[in-house]
């Protein structure tokens, strides 16, 4: 999925890759035995049902003239038993096909979601989240009918056509040939609209994706929208996107609706010809056509065009599904840039020594964010990283957690190259608090325990006390069991940060990364928090990014980063004595506070 935003359509593929259907077949393959059983029952039911018009012809041409009530009763019994078997087969088919279809949908949705969990931050940084969500939910759901009924119906209907043609040829060859004259016309219709129909559904999926992207963006930014009174403007944008979706939908279904009427028109015309010619031949005594033959044959005609109509609908569903399959598999095929290398080992128990050795990194080719970074943080030391916005501070700590791969050079923890260890074993031994204090829907207890699912309630409370979150939590409606909304809308920014702080500390990590951890906390709470953290950070290697320099004065080492390089490093006193960039930054903040 290329970089874009809500008002930019995604790129359309010029040609359909048949391998997409082969991949879909791989999801169907585990259920081939159940599908074979359903197909067998449906085929036997269809084959038996084909006998009913033949029974009717025999009754009309032979039994009624001869007043043979015993044979009529026997045929009636056979017809009843066939109808009963068809009903049981249909019920069995509906139950099994729905189970198979939903199992396949579940597996598809699981695969795409599991893959999304592994994709790097850069994937989410460059595309609207709504366009990602629509693939997991809407696009996968759109395949439901195709997988539940379409495939089995297609197989059974193709076989039904063979059965029907056999009985039609058995009754009368000439009438059968007249019926088949309509097929070339139908094939011509299919050929003419096939490409336009597929492109129309691709455009429709793009417009749906755009609409969903803007909807997600608007909901997430509703506070900003209302603060700047942008409601009317945003509604106009939404209306424009919705109108584009509606127009693309109407154009796509227009092509779909060409198929059904085409089949109906062709079947009606051929049936009319058969009636006209059949009656003429019957009245003229030509061709051995009787009333029973004509009645039976017209019954077969309706059965002949019904499966063709079903096949046409399946063709429509397939073209629609193809446009969604392309997007689904495109997401699943998105390269996982940060993944375990072949033969990756488990990270040994971390002690806490961290080294950057000549690290160069950029988010895009040709871009340099970190330029030959070298430093060593020994076990238990606290490192603070300061500098202007965009200098590369957060990038450094992201590389320690291996959220990105370095361009060149290497990052070592306890003399182990972290690119050679499994990501899970590395991150599970770290405590990380990002700038975005994300709160999940659920209880406060569950949000803190997110950092260590095996932690007891007492452990959670102890972590909350350490970061000074316990008091405000206990003042809430249900204490630690208070339910909070997605993104923690019921909490203040400072409260969200304290909960995120407790979450990171609960993991009991050897390496602790705090990215602007106290930016939304008031000064009084910060003073208390610093006292609690002082004991907690003993024996742990910590990296602290902070714009408020009062929070990092006691760090063992402060690095001033700018333009991708470490320009200065040392303790707070050493850097002040240097009278360089750090000193200027500190004095400017000090002067501002005095004012």
Can you tell me which residue has the tokens 């325990």?
Answer: 449
| pTM (predicted TM-score) | 0.67
User: Has residue 145 got a pLDDT over 70?
Assistant: no
pLDDT-above-70 percentage for the chain: 88
Based on the fold, state whether residues 28 and 128 are members of the same structural domain.
yes
- Separation of alpha carbons 512 and 555, rounded Å: 13
DSSP character for 369? S
Based on the fold, state whether residues 315 and 424 are members of the same structural domain.
no
The range of the structural domain enclosing residue 401 comes to 345-429+543-595
Evaluate whether residue 123 is within a structural domain: yes
Based on the fold, state whether residues 193 and 291 are members of the same structural domain.
yes
User: pLDDT tens, 9-21?
Assistant: 665 554 556 777 7
User: Has residue 467 got a pLDDT over 50?
Assistant: yes
Based on the fold, state whether residues 201 and 258 are members of the same structural domain.
yes
Neighbours of 505 (CB within 10 A): 26
Lowest mean pLDDT among 265-274, 357-366, 444-453, 557-566: 265-274
Q: Which pairs with CB-CB distance under 8 Å and at least 24 residues apart come from 11-14?
A: 12/199, 12/202, 12/203, 12/206, 13/202, 13/326
* Burial class of 147 by CB neighbour count within 10 A (0 to 12, 13 to 18, 19+): buried
How high is the pLDDT of residue 15? 56
How high is the pLDDT of residue 39? 82
User: Has residue 292 got a pLDDT over 90?
Assistant: no
Based on the fold, state whether residues 316 and 256 are members of the same structural domain.
yes
How high is the pLDDT of residue 531? 62
Based on the fold, state whether residues 327 and 350 are members of the same structural domain.
no
Can you tell me which residue has the tokens 């003239």?
Answer: 65
Residues 278, 281, 287, 291, Cα dihedral to 10° = 60
- Among 55-59, 328-332, 350-354, 363-367, top mean pLDDT goes to 350-354
User: pLDDT tens, 83-115?
Assistant: 898 889 888 888 888 888 888 888 888 898 888
Could you tell me which residue, 127 or 447, shows the higher pLDDT? 447
User: pLDDT tens, 511-538?
Assistant: 988 887 666 566 666 666 666 566 567 7
Neighbours of 112 (CB within 10 A): 20
User: Has residue 3 got a pLDDT over 50?
Assistant: no
CA separation, residue 21 to residues 97, 146, 326 (Å):
19, 12, 10
Evaluate whether residue 447 is within a structural domain: no
Given a contact cutoff of 8 angstroms between Cβ atoms, the answer to whether 423 and 120 are in contact is no
* Burial class of 33 by CB neighbour count within 10 A (0 to 12, 13 to 18, 19+): exposed
How high is the pLDDT of residue 519? 61
SS3 helix, strand, coil % of the chain, rounded to 5? 65, 10, 25
Evaluate whether residue 528 is within a structural domain: no
Based on the fold, state whether residues 291 and 369 are members of the same structural domain.
no
User: Has residue 127 got a pLDDT over 80?
Assistant: no
- Separation of alpha carbons 416 and 432, rounded Å: 20
Pairing type for strands 354-361 and 382-386 reads unpaired
Q: Give the Cα-Cα-Cα angle 453, 459, 463 (nearest 5 degrees).
A: 105
Q: Which of 307, 332, 357 is the last residue of a domain?
A: 332
Could you tell me which residue, 356 or 232, shows the higher pLDDT? 356
Tokens encoding 281: 């031949």
């Amino acid at each position: 999925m290329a970089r874009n935003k809500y008002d930019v359509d995604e790129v359309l593929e010029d040609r359909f890759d048949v391998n997409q259907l082969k991949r879909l077949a791989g999801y169907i393959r585990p259920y081939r035995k159940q599908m074979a059983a359903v197909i067998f029952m449906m085929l036997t039911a269809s084959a038996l049902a084909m006998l009913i018009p033949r029974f009717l012809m025999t009754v009309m041409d032979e039994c009624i003239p001869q007043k043979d009530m015993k044979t009529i009763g026997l045929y009636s019994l056979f017809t009843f038993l066939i109808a009963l078997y068809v009903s049981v087969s249909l019920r069995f088919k509906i139950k099994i096909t729905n189970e198979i279809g939903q199992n396949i949908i579940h597996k598809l949705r699981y695969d795409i979601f599991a893959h999304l969990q592994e994709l790097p931050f850069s994937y989410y940084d460059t595309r609207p989240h709504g366009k990602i969500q629509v693939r997991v939910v809407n696009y996968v759901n759109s395949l439901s009918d195709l997988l539940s009924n379409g495939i089995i119906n297609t197989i059974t209907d193709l076989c039904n056509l063979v059965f029907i043609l056999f009985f039609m040829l058995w009754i009368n060859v000439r009438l059968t040939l007249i019926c088949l004259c309509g097929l070339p016309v139908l094939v011509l219709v299919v050929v003419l609209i096939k490409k336009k129909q597929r492109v129309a559904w691709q455009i429709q999926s793009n417009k749906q994706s755009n609409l969903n992207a803007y909807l997600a963006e608007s909901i997430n930014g509703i506070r900003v929208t209302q603060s700047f009174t942008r409601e009317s403007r945003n509604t106009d944008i939404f209306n424009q996107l919705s109108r584009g979706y509606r127009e693309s939908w109407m154009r796509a279904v227009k092509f779909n609706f060409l198929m059904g009427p085409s089949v109906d028109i062709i079947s009606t015309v051929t049936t009319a010809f058969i009636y006209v010619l059949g009656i003429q031949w019957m009245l003229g005594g030509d061709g051995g056509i009787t009333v029973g033959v004509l009645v039976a044959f017209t019954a077969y005609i309706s059965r002949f065009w019904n499966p063709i109509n079903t096949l046409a609908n399946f063709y429509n569903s397939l073209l629609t599904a193809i446009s969604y399959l392309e997007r689904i598999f495109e997401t699943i095929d998105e390269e996982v840039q940060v993944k375990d290398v072949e033969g990756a080992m488990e990270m040994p128990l971390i002690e806490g020594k961290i080294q950057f050795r000549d690290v160069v990194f950029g988010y895009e080719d040709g871009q340099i964010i970190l330029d030959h970074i070298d430093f060593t943080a020994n076990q238990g030391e606290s490192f603070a990283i300061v500098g202007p916005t965009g200098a590369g501070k957060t990038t450094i700590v992201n590389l320690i957690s291996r959220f990105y791969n370095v361009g060149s050079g290497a990052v070592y923890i306890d003399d182990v190259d972290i690119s050679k260890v499994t990501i899970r074993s590395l991150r599970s031994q770290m405590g990380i608090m990002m700038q975005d204090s994300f709160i999940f829907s659920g209880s406060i207890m569950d949000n803190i325990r997110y950092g260590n699912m095996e932690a007891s309630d007492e452990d959670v409370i102890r972590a909350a006390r350490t970061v000074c979150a316990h008091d405000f939590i206990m003042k809430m409606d249900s204490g630690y069991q208070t339910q909070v909304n997605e993104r923690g809308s019921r909490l203040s920014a400072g409260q969200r940060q304290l909960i995120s702080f407790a979450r990171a500390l609960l993991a009991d990590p050897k390496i602790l990364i705090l990215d602007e951890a106290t930016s939304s906390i008031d000064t009084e709470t910060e003073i208390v928090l610093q006292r609690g953290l002082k004991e907690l950070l003993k024996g742990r290697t910590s990296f602290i990014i902070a714009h408020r320099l009062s929070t990092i004065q006691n760090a063992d080492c402060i690095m001033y980063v700018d333009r991708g390089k470490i320009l200065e490093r040392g303790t707070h006193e050493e850097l002040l004595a240097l009278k360089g960039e750090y000193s200027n930054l500190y004095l400017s903040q000090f002067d501002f506070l005095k004012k």
